[in-house]
Amino acid sequence: MFKNKTSFFLLIAATLLYLTGFYFSYSNLFEGFFRMEDFSVVRNLFEYGIMYASLLVFCSMLYRKKYLRFLPYILLFIISLNFLISAICRIVYHSSFNSGMVLSVIDSNVDEALSMSTMFIVPIIICLLFWAFNIYVVKTVSRNPANKFLVLFSLLWVVFPILFKLKQNYISNKGGAPMIKSVLYHYNDFEAGIKMQKDLAKIKKNKIKLNAEKTGKGINTIVLLIGESVVPKHMQLYGYSIKNTMFQNGEIPNMQLYENAVSPAGITNLSVPLMLSTIKPEKFTSNKEEMADNIINFANQNGYETYWISTQTLSGSVTAIASYSKNIKYVNGYDEVAIPVFNQALKNKKNKLIILHLIGSHPNPCDKIPDAEKVFDENNPFNCYDSSINYTDKIISKILNPLKNEDAVFIYAADHGLKIIDGKYLHTDSKESVKVPFYIWFSPKTKEYANKGIVKETTQTTIIYPKIIEFMGYEPPKNYKNKDLKYLDFGLKTIDYSDLGD
């Protein structure tokens, strides 16, 4: 096959590196293999390995032609981006790749990408080294004379996906979902993510009439603040040693404080829709139009003026929910820039539901707050994170103080928590990642609905939907989903909260 044995060994080495990336992205598939129960992964590795080696040989054929020499650089760079995702999974998130990550990537924006870029320096370097090594392999292989066998082998990376497609269409299709294998093993993931985004657009087309029995006058001003990536054990409010929630601690007598609150998912694009609508986790992929039954739509149909104020940018299913608001304002800057917009909304004397969606403590926390707000010990590795919670405490004080003169209720909950490992702030499917701060604050003028005290039992933040309905003066739904403690994992599978690892 090769006159130069070095070419053969380099090709094998490059293929093994490529398959290592496959393992990093889909290490969960290897669990059955390591338990000696499922050996289908061997077939997968063989198929992907053959396709990748074929691609390298194909690139070497192109490299022989000076006018086509630029194409291998492009093809291999695309493959290297595929490998970059694998490196990020392993080095940064210590996790397999999944559908939830696809949503985050698709919905990301330049500011957020730049903010998190410092976490990806090592994976990016590895990606560039992978690219350079593959170029070197292609150059070396191109020095071998072409023969019929090499030409045929160089086409397998194109032929295999066609065969997989034919097999799926005419022989068998496990699970009924498209799963065409190709050298870009993340292609299927992103194709599914893009399809999900299109499906979410259909939500707005679902017109529903929401009815509930009127039980009382209702509260004039309902404010919901959705925090971002907040870990309760880093809050003074939940017993943390650093005093970073001084204002909120002073308001405990006016709160219904949930000591063991959990979110329904570990990333924003899943958790917020589950919190604000009646859709159940098991319906998230099959019946997204059920998100039309959301708390903003209910408020609109029952005489409330609705506001969505956000320092976050447009992001898939969250945006779908937010789009129901009569007044939508996205503002740029640190979270404090939302306060003037909030104060303006507060001037409206009508019944109103105001939802603030802030950037909070989102990784990287150091760039989510002004330098002057980094107020704790610089030698503390969590200085920025703890300071971001302190900064949010100041934001909350600016919201609550004017509400003390209103017939108002204020609800605070984080969309999800984080798992902190070696100074890295990670979104994971774990109990630590979904434990969140959650409380309801009642103004002195709100007495009919005030129910203060400590709630110790595990409570899912999906209870926010029926709570707000109650505060509007309507009968909340009975046997609501928060009692089930169902969790939607990153792979979009519904599991019991109790089955999550620590």
Chain segment 91-103, per-residue pLDDT in tens: 877 767 765 566 6
Asked if 194 and 228 sit in the same domain, the reply is no
Asked if 361 and 443 sit in the same domain, the reply is yes
Percent of the residues in the chain that have a pLDDT greater than 90, as a whole number: 49
Query: What domain range includes position 374?
Result: 220-499
Residue 225 forms beta bridges with which residues?
A: 356, 412
Tell me, yes or no, whether 31 lies in a domain.
yes
- Tell how far CA 76 is from the center of its chain: 28
**pLDDT given for residue 345 in this prediction:** 96
Asked if 305 and 158 sit in the same domain, the reply is no
**pLDDT given for residue 35 in this prediction:** 59
Asked if 355 and 390 sit in the same domain, the reply is yes
Kindly give the pairing relationship between strand 305-310 and strand 408-414: unpaired
Tell me, yes or no, whether 44 lies in a domain.
yes
Tell me, yes or no, whether 420 lies in a domain.
yes
Asked if 110 and 227 sit in the same domain, the reply is no
Confidence bin at 452 (pLDDT 50/70/90) = very high
**pLDDT given for residue 226 in this prediction:** 96
**pLDDT given for residue 246 in this prediction:** 96
Asked if 233 and 132 sit in the same domain, the reply is no
Q: Indicate if the pLDDT at residue 261 is higher than 90.
A: yes
- For residue 186, the SS3 value is coil
3-state secondary structure 401-434: HHHCCCCEEEEEEECCCCEEECCEEECCCCHHHH
Which of 401, 171, 414, 198 shows the shortest CA–CA distance to 285? 198
Look up the CATH number of the domain holding residue 324: 3.40.720.10
Asked if 192 and 229 sit in the same domain, the reply is no
3-state secondary structure 54-122: HHHHHHHHHHCCHHHCHHHHHHHHHHHHHHHHHHHHHHHHCCCCCHHHHHHHHHCCHHHHHHHHHHHHH
Residues 152-189 have pLDDT tens digits of 999 999 998 888 888 777 775 444 445 568 888 888 77
Number of domains in the chain: 2
Residues 369-388 have pLDDT tens digits of 988 998 888 778 889 999 99
Asked if 249 and 393 sit in the same domain, the reply is yes
Taking the C-alpha atoms of residue 98 and residue 201, their distance in angstroms, rounded to an integer, is 22
